[in-house]
Structure 1
Amino acid sequence: MADLHLDIQLSLELRMAEFKSDPEKMQEVNAFLDELFKKAVKEAGQRKEVEEKAKAESSNSHNGTKKIGAWSSRARTSARSFASRLITTICNCTNSVRNVVINKN
C-alpha cells in the first residue's frame, strides 16, 4: 500500500488536493474501492439467493401444511384444555350453588 501519511498541520482542502494529485495514492484508493464494491455485490447476491430459497421453501405447500398442522395441533390442545377447565369450573360452581340452595330448603 502506498504511503498515506499526510501533514496534519495543513488545511483539509490542501491535504485533499495533495492526495488527489498523487496518482499512485488515487490508484490504490480506486483499487480498494473496486474490490470493496465487488465484494458487496457478491454478498448481496448470496443474501438474495438465500432469501429466495427460504421464500420458496416456505411457500411449498407440503412444508406449509406441516407448519400449519403443528400450530393447529398445539392450538387444538390448548383450546381443549381451556374448554375443559372452563366446563369444570362452571360445573363446580353450579354444583356448589345447587348444594347451597338444597341445604337452605
Structure 2
Amino acid sequence: MLRAHPIEALGSFELLEKEDYLLSESFASSGVVRPLTLPKSNVLKYRFTDGSWICLRPSGTEPKFKIYYSANAQKEEDAAEKLKKLKNGFKMFMEKL
C-alpha cells in the first residue's frame, strides 16, 4: 500500500529520500536514484530534510506492522516534540489512505 501511495511529506517534515530495500534503490527528492547494497527486504525508510526518519516493515513473526522513528534536536525536550509531530504526521497520512 505504501509503495502505491508514497510519502512526500509528513506535516512539516519534507522528504529528502526514500529507501526501498525490496527494490534495492534509494530515490532522492531531487530525482536521483542510487542503488542500495544491503540485502533485499520488505522495508521502506523515509529520510527527511531535518535529519529525522521513519522506517516501516512488516513483522517477520507476527501479523503486525512495525514502525521505527528517529528525531534529532539539541535538547531532549525538543527531540521529544519533533518525535511527537513526526508520529502524528504519519498517523494523519495513514488516515488519508
TM-score, length of structure 1 as denominator length: 0.22
More strand by share: 2
More helix by share: 1
TM-score, length of structure 2 as denominator length: 0.24
Higher RCO (CA-CA < 8 Å; seq separation 6+):
2
